[in-house]
Amino acid sequence: MLPHFGPVELILILVIVTMLFGVGKLPEVFGAVGKGVREFRKNSANDVENAANAAEAATKKVEADASEETTGENSQAG
């Protein structure tokens, strides 16, 4: 489980980031982080949609196979 970050921890992280990158680079760094988060969310949504489509296709295939087996059994019985 992830630890909970309070205001003191967040301020400490901000100070460390400022010391590492400098004040001038902060907008560029946070812009890149924001872009990465947006891409991650977009791809996650696409993955969920693709998984749902694959599950639907698999369900249709199983239903089609089951109906073929039922039809095949009926024609063999007669």
In Å, how far from its chain's centre is CA 76?
47
The predicted structure's pLDDT at residue 77: 54
Question: What distance in Å separates the CA atoms of residue 1 and residue 23, rounded to the nearest whole number?
Answer: 32
Provide the residue ranges of all domains of the chain, joining segments of one domain with +.
Answer: 37-69
The predicted structure's pLDDT at residue 5: 80
Q: Which helix (H) or strand (E) holds 53?
A: helix 26-77
State the pTM of this model: 0.47
Give, for all 78 residues of the chain, the pLDDT tens digit.
667 889 899 899 889 988 888 888 888 888 998 999 999 988 888 888 888 888 888 888 888 888 877 776 555 555
Residue 53 in contact with residue 62, Cβ under 8 Å?
Answer: no
Q: How far is CA 44 from CA 2, 17, 36, 49, in A?
A: 21, 27, 12, 9
Question: Which residue reads 């239903």 in tokens?
Answer: 63
The predicted structure's pLDDT at residue 75: 57
